[in-house]
Structure 1
Amino acid sequence: MLALLSRGRRYGYQLRQEFEASTGATWPLNIGQVYTTLSRMERDGLVEPGAADEQGRVVYTITEAGRTELARWFSTPVGQSDRPRDELVIKVAMAVASGEADVRAVIQAQRRATMRALQELNRAKRAEAAGAAQRLVLDSAIFKAEAEQRWLDHCEAVLKENNA
């Protein structure tokens, strides 16, 4: 949100729309989450509310502290430990460890779902008159899906190797 506010004053709904437009609506944003985040950033001195516009919407501006935080965020790499747990990796590991699941069926079900997602992403990329930000988001999702397919291939190879 700070990145969007760095381009000028915005109210909450604008921030939501611009975020979703920039990310190709890959991560829908709840409007309540936007206002909760704005409140937290206001508390932390990163943004300040201005006078309401003609429609009664409070517009926010980024502060110098907000610009400093934004610059820090852009310059700090995202560490692997900063990302949420990968549910698929946990599911496959637990399927193997428990002995209660047909691990190959788990992998095949995921492979089909990932292939469908990959096809949808490629269709979206072809259909979108996407700007650079949207294209990069779609490309990232495509690369992750392709990597997931390769990892699923690897899982099957390891399972075959261990059962040989």
Structure 2
Amino acid sequence: MSIRHGLPAVLAAGPRYGSRLRTDFETRTGGTWPLNIGQVYTTLGRLERDGLVAQEGVDEAGRALYALTEAGRAELRAWYARPVERAGPPRDEPAIKLVMAVGADGVDVREVVEAQRRHVAQALHDLVRQRAEALARGPEHPREVARLLVLERLVFQAEAEARWLDHCEARLLRLTREAEPPSGEQPGH
């Protein structure tokens, strides 16, 4: 998630102070991408430096309020309009772990696959439960719609990882069978 664009997206609804901006960002993303307050203020500093946000007074508690500038609104519209680049594959730890396990001494790749499968199954179970709870609350509120969209993206990613693990297991099984000598033959004969 682009924090550089996510924070202005929240500010489009009106000025916010830092911790409120953080809370609203986390609420809008369904609590899936927690931010630390340092990230918020560092990003606000950069956005201010780049002319995309400006401090706009203080609230009743004396906290600095940040608001989008016209340049910030234009940048936000441009961000919404352009697709997210898929320039290169992201670093994918399960894939890296699996390819490193293939051929590694003392590592049973099938056990690596199975451990990951159990983890994905539990994560998928939790995500589906959270999605059902959100649906039960009624998805008509914009915040619930946003939460559902995030949860559904995570469900689809977990389902895709489970399918990929099934594929890896099937490929490894085929390779193991191909490496075995035909029935009745002794290895080395």
TM-score (norm 1): 0.94
The aligned amino acid for 2:102 is V
Structure 2: segments with no counterpart, 5+ residues: 1-6, 178-189
Aligned length: 164
Q: 2:154 aligns with which of 123, 141, 152?
A: 141
Structure 1: segments with no counterpart, 5+ residues: none
Q: Report how far residue 135 of structure 1 moved.
A: 0.4
The aligned amino acid for 1:43 is R
Residue 25 of structure 2 corresponds to residue 19 of structure 1: yes
Report the CA distance shift for 1:82/1:71 in structure 2 as closer, same or farther (over 3 A): farther
Q: 1:7 aligns with which of 10, 13, 28?
A: 13
Give the match for residue 31 of structure 1: 37
The aligned amino acid for 2:110 is R
CA RMSD of aligned residues (A): 1.5
Residue 121 of structure 2 corresponds to residue 115 of structure 1: yes
The aligned amino acid for 1:153 is D
Structure 2 Cα separation of the partners of residues 43 and 118 of structure 1: 41
Give the match for residue 65 of structure 1: 71
Give the match for residue 110 of structure 2: 104
Structure 1 runs (4+) deviating above 6 angstroms are: none
- Secondary structure of the 1:160 match is helix
Structure 2 Cα separation of the partners of residues 22 and 97 of structure 1: 44
Structure 1 Cα separation of the partners of residues 18 and 49 of structure 2: 16
Structure richer in helix, relative to its length:
1
Task: Identify the structure with bigger relative contact order (alpha carbons < 8 Å, sequence gap 6+).
Answer: 1
The aligned amino acid for 1:141 is L
TM-score (norm 2): 0.82
